[in-house]
Amino acid sequence: MARLAQTEGLTEEQSEILKAVKVFVDEQIIPAAQELEHQDEYPTEIVEGLKELGIFGLVIPEEYDGLGESLLTYALCVEEIARGWMSVSGVINTHFIVAYMLMQHGTEEQKQKYLPRMATGEVRGAFSMSEPGLGSDVSAIKTKATRTDEGYEITGQKMWLTNGGSSTLVATLVKTDEGEDSVYKNMTTFLVEKEPGFGETAPGLTIPGKIDKMGYKGVDTTEAIFENHQVSADQVLGGKTGKGFYQMMDGVEVGRVNVAARAVGVANRAFELGISYAQQRETFGKPIAQHQAILFRLAEMATKVETAHAMMVRAARQKDAGERNDVEAGMAKMLASEYCNEVVQDSFRIHGGYGYSKEYEIERLYREAAFMLIGEGTSDIQKMIIGRRLLEDYKLR
């Protein structure tokens, strides 16, 4: 029986949800992941199964037809799903961030309009902040919304939209330049509606084909090109312009807990594969697990999985308690992503030459792990966030 990445203090309902997700992962995701990933095929049947489990509405309050669960419950489900196939966790991640932003910052009309349909998966969310020349410098956003008699007109190019093709609602950060003295107060989040698919998905909004990636396949990652796209003022998240940067950063903060959970899930699967293979593969007359070098490697891998899981759980619980968790989320994301890569590489080495073959699952994990290092901010960005906050907390009086 697995002993890693266990969580103490869960309610009976949380335990039942996680048990159902684990069964789904073992029976529906892991057996299908290799073939779908190699074909870069969208996991339609898996997504339908997640809808039936209620995953799309997991954190949406019951008054909006969701399950009303905590960030911790969601993160633990994501960890388990990523253990099966990291791309599937990506399908629900940006949907979750958009739902969270609506819950925290949306008007009541916006909540009523979108959240019940997001809970069922009828409306699928995508999160759009980055641009081709942007990187980590959010202040350099160029996509702009100009006020018109009917509302706003958006023009510009956005990049790295997870669920860019399959989504129907995109939370999009743009410049509005409506007289504020700070660049960060001149950004606004718009709730952009579109049809699923590629090409012109709404008047003035084009979603080109999928970006071909090293890993993180199956899920559709795209650009979004706005050319005089018309949107009403009712689609400003929260009803007021100039709040977009702060709304997005709130979403990214919970997103970092999510990426940490995904990293733990991938690392845990890599450990499972490594310790299994090490007991089957023999050299010099005995299983390689009995060689000290492999035994030590397995011990270090397991310790890293356990440590990353514990930090992720702490960050999620702190957010659920209503406390600021930027340091904890940054630490969890940084450590989990770095450890994920180290654990996957160690498992890859345990597999030897077979790890380089596409027939073995570890080859896929090796490509997927790299994404964790950049998703929701690189380790260097996390260090800046953590360091600046620590200087505030430990400032000399």
Angle value at C-alpha 81, between 373 and 341, nearest 5 degrees = 25
Inform me whether the pLDDT recorded for 180 exceeds 80: no
Tokens of 40: 């870069």
According to DSSP, residue 191 is labeled E
* Distance separating alpha carbons of residues 60 and 381, to the nearest angstrom: 29
* Distance separating alpha carbons of residues 314 and 323, to the nearest angstrom: 12
Inform me whether the pLDDT recorded for 181 exceeds 90: no
- For 160-171, the pLDDT digits (tens) are 999 999 999 999
Question: In this structure, are residues 237 and 189 in contact, taking their beta carbons and an 8 Å threshold?
Answer: yes
Q: Which residues are catalytic?
A: 376
At 15, the pLDDT band (50, 70, 90 cuts) reads: very high
Query: What are residue 236's DSSP bridge partners?
Result: 190
Q: How buried is 314 (Cβ within 10 angstroms: 0-12 exposed, 13-18 middle, 19+ buried)?
A: middle
Question: In this structure, are residues 274 and 342 in contact, taking their beta carbons and an 8 Å threshold?
Answer: no
pLDDT of residue 106: 97
At 397, the pLDDT band (50, 70, 90 cuts) reads: confident
* Beta strands in 208-365, from DSSP E residues, in sequence order: 221-231, 282-283, 286-287
Question: What average pLDDT does range 297-309 have in this prediction?
Answer: 98
- One-letter amino acid identity for 155? T
- For 326-377, the pLDDT digits (tens) are 899 999 999 999 999 999 999 999 999 999 999 999 999 999 999 999 888 8
- One-letter amino acid identity for 47? V
Question: In this structure, are residues 183 and 54 in contact, taking their beta carbons and an 8 Å threshold?
Answer: no
- One-letter amino acid identity for 134? L
* Residue matched to tokens 């450890």: 339
Closest CA to 109 of 236, 203, 290, 212: 236
What pTM did the predictor assign? 0.94
Inform me whether the pLDDT recorded for 49 exceeds 90: yes
Question: What average pLDDT does range 17-43 have in this prediction?
Answer: 96
* Distance separating alpha carbons of residues 117 and 124, to the nearest angstrom: 8
Number of alpha carbons in the 13 Å side-chain half-sphere of residue 128: 36
For helices 292-320 and 326-351, give the axis angle rounded to 10 degrees.
160
* Beta strands in the chain, from DSSP E residues, in sequence order: 125-128, 144-147, 152-162, 169-175, 187-193, 199-202, 205-207, 221-231, 282-283, 286-287
* Distance separating alpha carbons of residues 185 and 241, to the nearest angstrom: 8
Going by their DSSP bridges, the two strands 169-175 and 125-128 should be labelled as parallel
Inform me whether the pLDDT recorded for 262 exceeds 70: yes
What is the average pLDDT value for the chain, to the nearest integer? 94
Question: In this structure, are residues 226 and 204 in contact, taking their beta carbons and an 8 Å threshold?
Answer: yes
- For 201-241, the pLDDT digits (tens) are 999 999 998 999 999 999 999 999 999 999 999 999 999 99
Q: How many CB atoms lie within 10 A of CB 107?
A: 15
* Distance separating alpha carbons of residues 197 and 206, to the nearest angstrom: 10
pLDDT of residue 320: 93
